[in-house]
Chain A
Amino acid sequence: MARMKFLCDADRCIECNACVTACKNENEVPWGINRRRVVTINDGKPGERSVSMACMHCTDAPCAAVCPVNCIYTTADAVVLHSKDLCIGCGYCFYACPFGAPQYPRVGNFGSRGKMDKCTYCAGGPETDGSEAEFVKYGANRLAEGKLPLCAEMCSTKSLLAGDGEIIAQIYKERVAKRGYGSGAWGWQTAYRETIAT
């Protein structure tokens, strides 16, 4: 099985936010929630870099470890998914997540946390692949259709890569070798405990 990962080539990201929009549209993400966002570091200064960030689908995911009801699980493709039926909205995954991926719709009179929502790698949830129930809760299940996450698929500069970790790492290595520089695979050390040697 493939080990799915995201890789954002920050030297290519032009901060167009198409990935953010694509994600929102494809998954009909609830109001107020951004499964993916683009952040610019040192904005306006020499050497600024933009990084598109979402759930990194960590190895030995901290969110899954701390979940009090064990509702977060890792699929055979190493995608980290969760069950909204089991989630109690306690907020622990969001204390543990290094990437700020889990978010909660505000529900009820006191704005208490609803069921957690995060990037699913366009792989839906525990429901039957492609079912209506799955779409309503988690959004599209492109992976089941043999497609990659839409954010990466429609990235205009091919900065955001999705796919098997080894393959996208190889693409990145070749890019860096050809152009002579690269600011690294952002978040990989934290998420996967490895970096790409270039």
Chain B
Amino acid sequence: MLTKHIRLLAAALAVAFVVAMPVSLSAQQPTVVDPNADAVKEQQLLQELNKIQGRGSIPDVKSYTIEQPAGREWRQFHQVTLHWIGGIAVLGMLLLLVAFYLIRGMVRIESGRSGRTLVRFNAFERGVHWMTATCFIVLAVTGLNITFGKELLLPLIGPEAFSTWSQWAKYAHNYISFPFTIGVVVIFLMWLAGNIPNRVDVEWLKEGGGIVGHKHPPAYRFNAGQKMVYWIVVLGGGIVAATGYLLMFPFYGTDITGMQIVQVIHGVVAVLFVAVMLAHIYIGTIGMEGAVEAMWDGTVDLNWAKEHHSLWVEQEMHKDETARSPRPAATPAE
């Protein structure tokens, strides 16, 4: 009984299939097969992500990105924008300093030297300063070489010599970044206490720091200008270090797009940093009488300190007194 039914059903299905086949065939026939119907389109993919990625069979996952036209914009930045920013920042600052020197001249110790000196920076502080400064100069020169070298130096010394120099410059830039970073971190910790902005800084800035006029607004150990340099070194140094390491270790944390952005930040912050440091070097040397010895032998003239850091001198004097005060306990002899 059951087998009869199944046989009947199978026969019905077979008939239905035979009848239906030409129908379904004729239904498909007129439509043209379009293998391109669902095909991925290059321009559409680029519009979606500005890059095209897929899957490959080699282990290098990075190679699965086949197209990323953003490199064109980065090229525009590196070849044009950065040249302008760097050129204006560095040359502009140099011109500004030359003009300032010609107009204002060296800021003198107005009351003359007293002959008495005061310790301003101990050996450790000076050591850290000069280590960081030396590293900075090497990094600045080798860094500027990467951007400006091929226009300024290459035509003078030729491609072979320029490549040899640039190769060493690259090594220097990479390796000297490590002591520089350590220097920035130590500077941050060692001078943090003296560089917290306070109300005295507002007054100092209002009076133009005494640089423009001949006034000497009061300041503690670091005046507002020095505090600005401190924070520029700490923050700027931190940024160039962080971005630099991302560039030095490609694909650790960034892809190519990330590295393009990181390079833009690194380049812009670095040239501005160089400009600020030129001003720092100026004011620490030919810009101000009696300033360089603070970092050279660690002491400053008392009159220099009174003129530029009056509140610091008071603190130091007070410290001296409190240091001396326990001693009188031994003096009464009567």
Show the binding face of A for B, using Cβ within 8 Å: 11, 15, 17, 20, 32, 34, 37-43, 45-51, 53, 62, 65-71, 85-92, 94-100, 112-113, 180-184, 186-187, 189-190
Contacts and interface: CB of A to CB of B under 8 A. Distances in A.
Contact of B166 (A38, A66, A88, A112): A88
B87 interface: no
Interface residues of B, number: 58
A39 B248 CA distance: 27
Most buried by A among B55, B60, B259: B55
Given A49-B40, A95-B263, A184-B41, A39 B55 contact: yes
Interface of B: 32, 34-43, 45-46, 52-58, 60, 62-72, 74-75, 78-79, 145-147, 149-150, 154, 159-160, 162-163, 166-167, 169-170, 174, 247-248, 250, 256, 259-260, 263
Contacts of B38: 45-47
Contacts of B60: 32, 34, 37
B31 to A, nearest CB: 13
14 contacts: A11-B39, A34-B58, A39-B65, A47-B40, A66-B74, A89-B167, A91-B259, A92-B146, A96-B74, A98-B67, A98-B71, A100-B256, A187-B66, A189-B43
Contact of B54 (A42, A46, A96, A190): A42
A17 B57 contact: yes
Given A34-B58, A70-B154, A41 B52 contact: yes
A70 B71 contact: no
A93 B70 CA distance: 13
Nearest to B32: A180
A173 to B, nearest CB: 16
Contacts of B146: 68, 90, 92
Contact of B259 (A67, A95, A112, A180): A95
Contacts of B53: 39, 41
B42 A184 contact: yes
Contact of A68 (B52, B150, B256): B150
Contact of A70 (B46, B62, B150): B150
Given A41-B40, A189-B43, A95 B56 contact: no
B278 to A, nearest CB: 22
A52 B162 CA distance: 36
B37 A100 contact: no
Most buried by B among A71, A88, A180: A88
A100 B170 contact: no
Contacts of A48: 40
9 nearest A-B residue pairs (beta carbon): A47-B38, A181-B36, A41-B54, A39-B54, A46-B38, A86-B163, A96-B71, A47-B39, A62-B75
A21 B146 CA distance: 36
